[in-house]
Structure 1
Amino acid sequence: MIADLMHIRNVSEGAREDISPSAVYRKSYVVDAALLSEVIRSRAAPVGKGRPVQGIPGTNPCAEKRAISLMDTRTGKIVSVGDMHHRFSQQSMSKPVAMALAIRLMGGQPERYGRYVGMQASTLPYNDATLAPDGRPFNSSVNIGALATWMLIQIHTPSGSDPFDGFLEMMKSLTRNPGLSVNEAMAAGEFEFCPPDQAMSRNRQLLATLDASGFVDEDSLTIYAMRKHGKAFVDANSTRAGGLTSEFALSCRRALSEDAFLSYCRACAVMVNTEDMANVAGVFRSGGVQVDVENGTRRRILPSSIADYVRCSNDISGSYEESGTQFRKNAFGGKTGVDGGIFGSLYRHPNLVVATHHADLNPVGNSGEGQKWISTLNKLNLVLPSARRAALGMARGLMRARPMAGQLPSHALGPSPREMDATLQSEMTPETRRALTNAMPVIDGVRRDFYVKAPDIRKAKDIAVDATHVLLARDIHGRMKRYYHMSQDRHALEKIVVVDEMSGAVSAAREQD
């Protein structure tokens, strides 16, 4: 039995029959479209695993659109595969750019920005209202930190300038795309959205938390009022002591919150593709410098102090509570967005940045497939050919000591989870399928679709729940996953059926064990 399970696990994790899995990761492979296509194919999840973003009006995610863009920061060259021209809303991927703009408006001093918004990791969800013990948002990646950042932008934008215009111009420079635009209908939908069972949206609750915390002091509010209304109007609504009247101050605080929130929604609704975001990642990794892919000239977009500060903040908190795991396990630091985008640095490769897009999200709100592509890329020995050798058709490692790089063979990374699911389900007997379907309500209380994968017996713990054998195993984030198999059918014993994260029923089952 153990041998059978080990065989299935090896098949699921390994490569083609004639390729050793360990050999795949020892060799060097040239970065090209074939390699990226193989990465996408090998990590395609079963249909129905994960789900697109919910609750943002105007988004139109498609689970079958996938794209990877990989950039060499020394040359600016981008290699892309999939639906790389498909545009999606950047959502929270806008937050690092907003942070960079806020720091620039505050004199280019990251430490000044840091007095208002922290750079601490947080284990809390992205929309949690908790502030750090010192009263600051933990970081700029969580929504309350991003809204605070937009308040700072509204306050420090010079009179006569529009805060959002400054953001959009910075985005156009970072992406090298002067045609970037905002999906205004999406922005308005998010700005006006309110759940039917609540008095206000979650983001408006976060703004109220910031206001109650005293985030905006009287001097900052006066600066905002001067830009918004002009000196004469502010003077007319000031007290003899020089402060704003209480009624005028209250209206300014409300206006500041509304302006910050609207700008935040519009920034989230900027439509980008993976090549746009690879360009952004390249600037942050290169210390604020952008390389012209045509002639190799270098142009400074941001001061290095700002670019490095933003990149470090992304590394610490850009994937929310998964940030530490992504940095430790995948050597990846970057920012995610709930419309399926990810961009950032592959730290196991000295000059590579990546941007990915796939709409299905994991429970934290990050693109699960995108994370797996990034993990695979960081495991492979990737070689980028120099321009001269590439022109000669000689894809050779940049370090002379490295062996000649080859092309990653098709299916070298083994069957994908989607392919394994299709294969194992096709072999499943009707009796097993009925038994598994009937077993789902016993555990969950509702019927659910399932998908099939090979077991990892190294992590699993076998228990029984109502005559159904259940394997409980922790995933890479420490959460328990549910794995099912049926004891009465040996055919099913060679498979494991997986559904979503642990529910209360399974938690109780663990406690009884």
Structure 2
Amino acid sequence: MSTSVDLWLATIFEEVQPLFGKGRVADYIPALARVEPNQFGMAIAMVDGRHYAVGDAHVLFSIQSISKLFTFVLALKLIGDDIWQRIGREPSGNAFNSMVQLETEHGIPRNPFINAGALVVTDILTQRYAHLDLALLNFLRRMTDSPDLNWNKEVAKSERDTAHRNMAMAYFMKSFGNFVNSPELVLDNYCRQCATEMSCTQLAQAAIFLANDGLDIGSGEQVLTSEAARRVNALLLTCGAYDAAGDYAYRIGLPLKTGVGGGIVAVIPNIGTVCVWSPELDAKGNSLIGGYALERLMQLSGWGRMSLAM
């Protein structure tokens, strides 16, 4: 198996080289616009403890919307199914930062992984944690055994200075009674969580509990029940790639979460997790090379068929 996985990663690494330059970095956030675009890393963490990596898999990058997965897990652990009184469970079909549906649906975001939904999740956590950034970092540090993991102050400030649409969404939801804290405080927390920096290897390790019935392999912590982990994976499959979720489900067929920093973390139930990073994005805001790399991995490995059969 080890030889096969290494060969698959080496094959993918070679195949993606001609794709550099076909996307563009997230230049609407000034700090991200300065990221070197010609980078690619891919890491795999298996439920049996084995790890594989290729390229820039150990380089830290801004996880951005991938953080929404982990804050959602924290909120689910905190209030359980009460979360669905404030957020829906349906794909939006609109861009991740769209406000279109909020008025017709009375300030209830479609799902936790679009910006409006993630802001509500952050609002929920802001009620519980005086220092939400530390709560999230401590969770991720435990999952990765990386005590130095942190968020980037420059990226957080850059994002906060340009967060006008997110602020508008927060105030709009507050007008419907679906926001408790001040939008300013929630936006501060939200921008810090998005500015968390991790590598492919760390992200693959952090998400392994979703491939293992909610149990984290490294720490032995039961992060979620088996049923809750299955439901999180279902939402990642249907809502994790912005308004390209249907296309990703068709091409790749895995629960996954993307981020405009160029990262994608994907779950192969009963087998492991994969994280891929390349900063150049496609028109939907997902990593152009990352999407290709995940699709090729599933074609080469056949893991999607194996996980469904288990």
TM-score of the two chains, using structure 1 as the length reference: 0.55
Structure with a larger share of its residues in helix:
2
Aligned to 2:249: 327
Aligned to 2:272: 352
Q: Which runs of 5+ in 1 are unaligned?
A: 1-27, 195-200, 222-252, 384-397, 399-513
What does 1:346-425 align with in structure 2 at a 5 Å threshold?
346=268, 350-381=270-301
Write the distance in 2 (CA, Å) between the matches of 1:312 and 1:280. 18
CA contact (8 A) 2:133 2:189 kept: yes
Q: Rate the CA distance shift 1:82–1:122 in 2: closer, same or farther, 3 A.
A: same
User: Cα offset for 1:76?
Assistant: 2.2
User: Cα offset for 1:351?
Assistant: 0.6
The correspondence for 1:86, drawn from 33, 52, 59, is: 59
Amino acid at match of 1:86: V
Q: Does 1:283 align with 2:209?
A: yes
The correspondence for 1:166, drawn from 135, 141, 149, is: 135
Q: Does 1:71 align with 2:52?
A: no
Larger RCO, structure (CA 8 Å, separation 6 or more) = 2
Write the distance in 1 (CA, Å) between the matches of 2:20 and 2:184. 40
Q: Rate the CA distance shift 1:57–1:303 in 2: closer, same or farther, 3 A.
A: farther
What does 1:77-476 align with in structure 2 at a 5 Å threshold?
77-106=50-79, 109=80, 111-129=81-99, 130-131=101-102, 133=105, 135-157=107-129, 161-193=130-162, 201-216=164-179, 221=180, 253=181, 256-292=182-218, 298-346=220-268, 350-381=270-301
User: Cα offset for 1:33?
Assistant: 2.8
Q: SS where residue 112 of structure 2 aligns?
A: coil
Q: Rate the CA distance shift 1:72–1:191 in 2: closer, same or farther, 3 A.
A: same
Which structure would you say has the larger Rg?
1
CA contact (8 A) 2:20 2:38 kept: no
1:339-383 alpha-carbon deviations (Å, 9 max, x no partner):
100001246xx5132100001100000001111111111112368
Q: Rate the CA distance shift 1:328–1:342 in 2: closer, same or farther, 3 A.
A: same
Q: SS where residue 13 of structure 2 aligns?
A: helix
User: Cα offset for 1:329?
Assistant: 2.4
User: Cα offset for 1:30?
Assistant: 4.3
Q: Rate the CA distance shift 1:48–1:358 in 2: closer, same or farther, 3 A.
A: same
Q: Rate the CA distance shift 1:259–1:305 in 2: closer, same or farther, 3 A.
A: farther
Q: In the comparison of the two structures, how many residue pairs are matched? A: 301
Q: SS where residue 42 of structure 2 aligns?
A: strand
Q: Rate the CA distance shift 1:320–1:118 in 2: closer, same or farther, 3 A.
A: same
Q: Which runs of 5+ in 2 are unaligned?
A: none
The correspondence for 1:55, drawn from 28, 42, 48, is: 28
User: Cα offset for 1:138?
Assistant: 0.3
Q: Rate the CA distance shift 1:94–1:114 in 2: closer, same or farther, 3 A.
A: same
Amino acid at match of 1:374: L
User: Cα offset for 1:305?
Assistant: 4.3
Write the distance in 2 (CA, Å) between the matches of 1:29 and 1:326. 27
CA contact (8 A) 2:151 2:197 kept: yes
CA contact (8 A) 1:326 1:333 kept: no
CA contact (8 A) 2:62 2:196 kept: yes
CA RMSD across the alignment: 2.2
User: Cα offset for 1:165?
Assistant: 1.8
User: Cα offset for 1:100?
Assistant: 1.1
